Amino acid sequence: MRKLILQMQCSLDGFVSGPNGELDWIFPDLDAEYAAWGVERLWRAGAHLMGGVTFRDMAAHWPSSTEPYAAPMNQSLSRLPD
């Protein structure tokens, strides 16, 4: 049986986004060490499970991104069934 690991940003008062849906607080400044850890975790993931809104946002963002997370996220998106 595989492990299920939840990775989610949440503020101390329990919110995931701002009052208008903004997410800019989540990744203000990632240092290189944290980014390397996150990218390595993404490469090792067997699946990425997300809701429809999050998926559409990710599918629109990652193909043209140059961020460190782009390569593993684009590989995950390319493995979707037709």
For the stretch 8-65, pLDDT in tens is 777 788 878 888 888 777 666 678 898 898 889 889 888 888 888 888 888 898 899 9
Domain boundaries in the chain?
32-78
Q: Which of 59-63, 69-73, 78-82 has the lowest mean pLDDT?
A: 78-82
Residues 28, 49: Cα–Cα separation, whole Å? 24
Q: Identify the CA nearest to 47 among candidates 71, 77, 26.
A: 77
- pLDDT greater than 80 at residue 70: yes
- Predicted confidence at residue 81, as pLDDT, reads 65
Rounded to two decimals, the pTM is: 0.67
